[in-house]
Amino acid sequence: MARRKLIDCFVSVVVPLGRDDLDVKSFIRETGRILNGNYTNFEIILVLGVPTGEVLRQARELVRTEPCLRVIRLSRWYGLETTVFAGLDAAIGDYTVVLLPQMDSPRLVAPVVENLRKEAEIVRGVSKLPLKLASWARAGSCLFHWYVKHYLGFDVPRNSTYLLGLNRRVVNALARTKTRYRHVRYLSAQLGFESEDFVYEPNPAGFPQTGLLDSINLALEIAISFSSHPLRFLSWLGLSGASLNLLYGIYVIGIFLFKKNIEEGWTTLSLQISGLFFLVFLILTILSEYVGRILEEVRDQPSYHVIEEFSSSVSIADENRRNVLKKS
C-alpha cells in the first residue's frame, strides 16, 4: 500500500512534564507515529520540570529508540507556564503545538496544525465540558476572566486549557518578551495575533489543580505582570486620600477662623495629622507611578535554568531537505 503524501512543513510538539507518575513512553511513541505519518519534518521537545526520577529514566530510553526527540531537563520545577516556555524557546518548527500528556491526546496535533495552516496564527484549546474545579476556584475563575477582559484589555476563553497551536511568527514574538513571568495563555492573547478557539474534550481530571493561596498569587502575578492597572488603581486611591486630607485641612482652618471656643491644641494637632497624611499619600501616588514604569521597562532576569539537554541521533526526519539554494 502506497504511503500517502506528507504535508511539507516542520511541526514542533512541546510536551511539558511536571509529574513523575506518567507513562511518557506510550505518549511520545504515539505522537511520533502521528507526526511521521503526516509531516515531512517534525520534532518532539520533552521538557522535564521534574529533573530526576522515573520520567528522566524513560526519557533516556526514548532518545535511543525514537527519532527527532529532544529532551530539555530544567534544574527544578519552575511552574507549568515556565516549563512550557522553555519548550517554546527551543522549538524551530513552522508550527508548534503544546500538549499536556495527562490531559491531551496526540491525535489533536493534526487538526490543530490544519487550523494553523489555514488562517489562524494562534489556536487555543477550550474544553467542551466545564473543567473539574472546586466551587471557590470556579467562582474565582469567573471573576478573574471578567477582570482580564475589562481591565487588562484581552480575552482568554472560559474553560481554556493548555493546548496551544502557534505559528512561527507568534513563537518568535513570544521569545522576544523579556518579562520574567511569561504566562503563555495570557501573553499569547495579549499579542493581538489572529486567534481561533479549538473546542474539544480533554481529560478533565488532568487539568493542573492549585490551592487557594497559589491561585490568588497566580492571579496577582498575572495582573501585575501584564498591566500597570493595579498600580494605577493604587495611584488613584492615594490621590483620593491626599485630596480628602487636603479638604480636611481646609475644614480645620475654617473651624479655627469662624468658630469660637475651640479646644486648645485641636487646630494644631489636626493640621499636623492632615498635612502629614497628605504628604504620605502624595508620595505613595508618585512612587506607584514610578514603580509601574520600572515594572514595564526592567524585566531581564532568566525565567529558568537548563542543566542538561540530550536528543535522538536522528534529529531531522527528511535529511534531504535544505533551507538554502544550491544555485545563486
321, part of any domain: no
CATH of residue 90: 3.90.550.10
34/80 same-domain check: yes
Contact 38, 110 (CB under 8 A): yes
Range of the domain at 271: 229-297
73/117 same-domain check: yes
- List Cβ neighbours of 153 (8 Å cut-off, separation of 6 or more): 190, 227
222/278 same-domain check: no
Checking if the pLDDT of 231 tops 60, the result is yes
Q: pLDDT tens, 51-60?
A: 677 888 888 9
234/193 same-domain check: no
Q: pLDDT tens, 143-177?
A: 777 777 777 767 777 778 889 999 999 999 888 87
> Model confidence at 5, in pLDDT bands (50, 70, 90)?
confident
Contact 122, 165 (CB under 8 A): yes
161, part of any domain: yes
124/92 same-domain check: yes
Mean pLDDT comparison of 79-83, 182-186, 275-279, 318-322, highest-scoring range? 79-83
Instruction: Report how many domains make up the chain.
Output: 2
pTM of the prediction?
0.73
Give the per-residue pLDDT at 262.
Answer: 66
| 166 beta partners | 96, 122
Cα 213 to chain centroid, rounded: 18
222/270 same-domain check: no
How many Å apart are CA 238 and CA 250, to the nearest integer? 19
> Model confidence at 35, in pLDDT bands (50, 70, 90)?
very high
Checking if the pLDDT of 7 tops 60, the result is yes
Q: Which parts of 148-228 fold into alpha helices (H)?
A: 168-175, 184-191, 212-226
221/284 same-domain check: no
- List Cβ neighbours of 16 (8 Å cut-off, separation of 6 or more): 47, 49, 80, 83, 84, 86, 87, 98, 100, 162
Q: pLDDT tens, 177-226?
A: 766 667 777 777 777 788 888 999 888 666 666 666 766 766 676 676 66
Helix (H) or strand (E) holding 297: helix 266-297
